[in-house]
Structure 1
Amino acid sequence: MSTYYFVGIKGTGMASLARLLKDQGHEVLGSDIEKETFTQAPLEAAGIKILPFNPDNLKPGMIVVQGNAFNDDHPEIVQAHAMGLTVQSYPATVEEQVRRYTSIGIAGAHGKTSTTGLLSHVLAKLAPTNYLIGDGVGRGVADAQFFVFEADEYRDHFLAYHPDYAIMTNVEFDHPDYFKDLVDVVDSFKAYSQQVKKAVFAWGEDPQLRQMTFDVPVYYYGTNDQDDFRAVNIQRTASGSAFDAYHQDQLIGHFNIHLYGQHSVLNALAVIALAYTEQLDMAVVAEVLQSFNGVKRRFSETDKGDIAIIDDYAHHPSEIKATLDAARQKYPDRELVAVFQPHTYSRLKAYLNDFGESLKKADQTYVTPVFGSIREQAGDISNQDLIDLIPNGHAIDQHTLDQLLQYHQAVVVFMGAGDIEKYEDQYEKLLG
């Protein structure tokens, strides 16, 4: 067994991978900032030591995993090279796992974490399964058959992977700080698809995926007649969603999920398609699907008095639309209040009008100041530009959160990929 040292171990992907390697019997430790994150307690509970950044932490024989957020000039990385240690990226370390098992990489502008969590939950009940979920959860088991992981397109990280199967939930222009345009994104997904060994499962209503050519068989999933795997007779209620799944003209089974929104039906259908292709017991798949309750920061719910608080990672217009759609399904008769934190100035500028349209789905919308990235300048855009596009739009910050106390018997949805949790935590304290 090896000793792995993670530079930036509290990152969600890094924390997941650290926990997987620990489960496999390796010695694992790492460094990060001293500010507490939601990934910290699970790491420590797993017996993984977290240290402050310090080059003196490094010891001979360590394999150093370099987090995606850290450059080669980071003092620990400099020291690792000076000591002649093996230094490898997060994607390269994941690829070591990809090559060892029947691997399924989930890619897409949206839905990666939810689909990865759902597929991991299902496969782990049917066969020994390792997985990496983008909410900080990772698991390694002895004699694993499957490995399920998120394949993130940001900065082309997924081009390090050569999985057996790929699930592609959608292709949209995101990460404008890296990709030039939609064509650039499509080119990356195409390159990733060429590294898949067995088959691709792609959402049939995505125009980019429909136009893409693949070197391996492609199975489209969706709700239309031309899809290979179809969800029909969909019923969406306040208790969840139900549907019949077909492969071509053959009924696979009837499925119930305690999840909300049209996107959740599609995510479940992708999981069903993969399991069916691997000839797994569909009756067991149907049973296991019912026990999945979601992943962290994806439609996570808390009740506080007469308020239902929903926490979601949504930071792109399509994700906001899906989250509000899910909230409407579960709470059709309650006022829907959105609290949104724009994530990066470049993304806000690129999708300003789309953000406005998506947020109109709420009854009332509050927009916080922009959560900027260390990689960009503030630029010439602010949250007020977005507020001006929303009929019931309002500005909010940590000093004016008491505005939310006027709502009762309401659903308050906090959305964002920055530090929106601080607003949510403060609101909960105000509620008492």
Structure 2
Amino acid sequence: MTSLNTYQNFYFVGIGGIGMSALARYFHASGKKVLGYDKTVTKLTSALVSEGIDIVFEDIIDDKIVGLDKENTLVIFTPAIKKLGILKHFHEEGFTVLKRAKVLGMITQSTNCIAMAGTHGKTTTSSLVAHLCKEADLSFSAFLGGIAENFHSNFIFNGSDFSVLEADEYDRSFLNLSPDWAVITSTDADHLDIYGDTATIEKSFCDFAGLVPSAQQLFVRKGINIGRETKTYAVNEEADFYSDNIREIGDKIYFDFHTENETVKDFEWEIPGIHNVENATAAIALLHSLGVDFQTLKRAIARFKGIKRRYAKHTYGDKIYIDDYAHHPTELDAVIGSVKTFYPDKKLLVVFQPHLFSRTRDFADAFAQSLSAADELVLLDIYPARELQENFEGITSTWLAEKIAMEAKEVATLENAFEIIKNKNFDILLTVGAGNIDTLYDGIVEWLSAKTNIATV
């Protein structure tokens, strides 16, 4: 296949996706001409336009597309895109058209690739690894699945010796990569519309692990059987690398980190949640194995600001607001469990938007159990994403709510959720989900700021 370096034009079909936009930024930073299509104007597409990337929001064959030279243009698309006139045009005209995962795989072949895999935790872990690489001044490019607060971007360019990225299990995309180093955070069942059953997704992770050349360069959460020798990491239990003595002092989290022959006390960072300490443990283990000293790592961990919509916490007097991207029962258990651990006596109101009819159907009982840990629940309508509701008759938020063993619950639309929240009595508000529930965020922050007359912390 022709090298990526031979192309001068890159057209992204679905450029507004978090993974697609990171790739677009990479080629733009490399001096290439980048264009694209997306169906919706978002904060992310607006940012890309402000950076000089040309985006259209109509599925039409415009003059810019007609003027592209097929020998000099690579078209990149996401599997989330189905039938589209623009994509059909490129295929019919003989352009080279590749999936995002294939292009990312080609980049990893020419770099020392550090890949984070797992059904949960990979965005936080990859963003933290990228941040640690930057603080250690390693030569790297990072492609992230979220907006890193330290960089206000999902793409970081600091050279090209290493590539840092998420290894996405959806559609088996991560099997296109060439990982030299890898972390596997979890292998819980998800994307059953693709995999069918738990055994198949677990085998896919084993296949990914098999791509890593050495056990010394593969870091796997203790308890996961990945079918080969690895380095293990854990929290509050012994492993090759582990953290313990976790405590919250003010707005900071402190923990001790252990290697097989060394203990480093009092790592400090700002990101709440036991699961986030686990992600930090993996990142520290990997960077230390790359030769970065603990003094640098301690300083870097303390400076990490997190990722947008990953346990984003604000305090307003005696009230706390947390916003999180969790959309799987295991993720809900982690975020709700962390809230209950650190604030056992505070009343927790959870506002949750289920993501995908298929995921809601496949994990309904687990969702019900996870959400029942809240003191009060507002359940929003299911966010369909790529799915059509008529293909999932009877799968609704009302159907899910009936399975949840609690009295203080109600189903609401996104449109009336804010007014419902304002009339609730709570100590902690948690908005959670992967759809468009994030549109509530700014209004809630403004309301709580005005209500308490206290700036967000």
Write the distance in 1 (CA, Å) between the matches of 2:368 and 2:382: 15
Secondary structure of the structure 2 residue equivalent to 1:259: coil
Q: Could you say which residue in structure 2 is the equivalent of 1:420? A: 437
Counterpart AA for 1:94? L
> Is the 2:14–2:38 contact (alpha carbons within 8 Å) kept by the matching residues of 1?
yes
Q: Could you say which residue in structure 1 is the equivalent of 2:123? A: 113
Write the distance in 2 (CA, Å) between the matches of 1:173 and 1:237: 35
Task: Choose from 353, 368, 385 the match for 2:380.
Answer: 368
Give, in angstroms, the shift of residue 413 of structure 1: 1.2
Counterpart AA for 2:209? S
Write the distance in 1 (CA, Å) between the matches of 2:444 and 2:412: 12
Q: Could you say which residue in structure 1 is the equivalent of 2:76? A: 65
Give, in angstroms, the shift of residue 153 of structure 1: 0.4
Q: Could you say which residue in structure 2 is the equivalent of 1:201? A: 219
Say whether 1:390 aligns with 2:405: yes
Secondary structure of the structure 2 residue equivalent to 1:178: helix
> Is the 1:3–1:27 contact (alpha carbons within 8 Å) kept by the matching residues of 2?
yes
Q: More deviation in 258-267 or 40-49?
A: 40-49
Write the distance in 1 (CA, Å) between the matches of 2:272 and 2:250: 8
Identity %: 28
Write the distance in 2 (CA, Å) between the matches of 1:375 and 1:173: 19
Distance 1:326 1:226, change over 3 A: closer
Give, in angstroms, the shift of residue 84 of structure 1: 2.7
Secondary structure of the structure 1 residue equivalent to 2:94: coil
Say whether 1:86 aligns with 2:96: yes
Q: Could you say which residue in structure 2 is the equivalent of 1:341? A: 353
RMSD: 2.3
Q: Could you say which residue in structure 2 is the equivalent of 1:162? A: 178
Q: Could you say which residue in structure 1 is the equivalent of 2:10? A: 4
Give, in angstroms, the shift of residue 89 of structure 1: 1.1
Q: Could you say which residue in structure 1 is the equivalent of 2:139? A: 128
> Is the 1:17–1:138 contact (alpha carbons within 8 Å) kept by the matching residues of 2?
no
Give, in angstroms, the shift of residue 68 of structure 1: 2.2
Write the distance in 2 (CA, Å) between the matches of 1:425 and 1:381: 30
Q: Could you say which residue in structure 1 is the equivalent of 2:195? A: 179
Q: Could you say which residue in structure 2 is the equivalent of 1:262? A: 274
Secondary structure of the structure 2 residue equivalent to 1:39: helix
Counterpart AA for 1:326? S
Q: More deviation in 105-114 or 318-327?
A: 318-327
Counterpart AA for 1:48? I
Q: Give matches, 1:17-416, under 5 Å.
A: 17-33=23-39, 35-52=40-57, 53-56=59-62, 57-58=64-65, 59-60=68-69, 61-71=72-82, 73-126=83-136, 127-135=138-146, 137-139=153-155, 141=157, 143-198=159-214, 199-205=217-223, 209=224, 211-214=225-228, 217-223=229-235, 226-302=238-314, 307-328=319-340, 331=343, 334-376=346-388, 377-388=391-402, 389-391=404-406, 392-397=408-413, 398-399=415-416, 401-407=418-424, 410-416=427-433
Write the distance in 2 (CA, Å) between the matches of 1:138 and 1:370: 26
Secondary structure of the structure 1 residue equivalent to 2:428: strand
Give, in angstroms, the shift of residue 399 of structure 1: 3.1
Counterpart AA for 2:162? F
Write the distance in 2 (CA, Å) between the matches of 1:124 and 1:385: 47
Q: Which runs of 5+ in 2 are unaligned?
A: 148-152, 451-457
Give, in angstroms, the shift of residue 238 of structure 1: 4.7
Spell out, residue by residue over 1:72-99, the C-alpha distance to the aligned partner (whole angstroms, 9 max, x if none): x532222223333221110111112212
Q: Give the TM-score normalised by structure 1.
A: 0.91
Spell out, residue by residue over 1:2-57, the C-alpha distance to the aligned partner (whole angstroms, 9 max, x if none): 22111110011101111122122222121111x32231232123211111332334
Give, in angstroms, the shift of residue 326 of structure 1: 3.4
Distance 1:67 1:237, change over 3 A: same
Write the distance in 2 (CA, Å) between the matches of 1:408 and 1:256: 33
Spell out, residue by residue over 1:175-214, the C-alpha distance to the aligned partner (whole angstroms, 9 max, x if none): 1221211101111111111112232111103xxx2x3222
Write the distance in 2 (CA, Å) between the matches of 1:411 and 1:226: 33
Task: Choose from 13, 21, 37 the match for 2:19.
Answer: 13
> Is the 2:234–2:243 contact (alpha carbons within 8 Å) kept by the matching residues of 1?
yes
> Is the 1:156–1:188 contact (alpha carbons within 8 Å) kept by the matching residues of 2?
yes
Counterpart AA for 1:414? T
Distance 1:63 1:117, change over 3 A: same
Write the distance in 1 (CA, Å) between the matches of 2:240 and 2:399: 43
Q: More deviation in 245-254 or 18-27?
A: 245-254
Write the distance in 1 (CA, Å) between the matches of 2:242 and 2:318: 38
Spell out, residue by residue over 1:373-427, the C-alpha distance to the aligned partner (whole angstroms, 9 max, x if none): 4434232222123323131222222236423223456321111111212444565
Write the distance in 2 (CA, Å) between the matches of 1:21 and 1:138: 14
> Is the 2:108–2:163 contact (alpha carbons within 8 Å) kept by the matching residues of 1?
yes
> Is the 1:341–1:370 contact (alpha carbons within 8 Å) kept by the matching residues of 2?
yes
Spell out, residue by residue over 1:268-322, the C-alpha distance to the aligned partner (whole angstroms, 9 max, x if none): 0000110111111111011010111111221224567875432211111111121
> Is the 2:236–2:245 contact (alpha carbons within 8 Å) kept by the matching residues of 1?
no
> Is the 1:237–1:330 contact (alpha carbons within 8 Å) kept by the matching residues of 2?
no
Write the distance in 2 (CA, Å) between the matches of 1:416 and 1:38: 18
Distance 1:17 1:342, change over 3 A: same
> Is the 1:304–1:428 contact (alpha carbons within 8 Å) kept by the matching residues of 2?
no
Write the distance in 1 (CA, Å) between the matches of 2:442 and 2:269: 29
Distance 1:365 1:340, change over 3 A: same
> Is the 1:21–1:140 contact (alpha carbons within 8 Å) kept by the matching residues of 2?
no
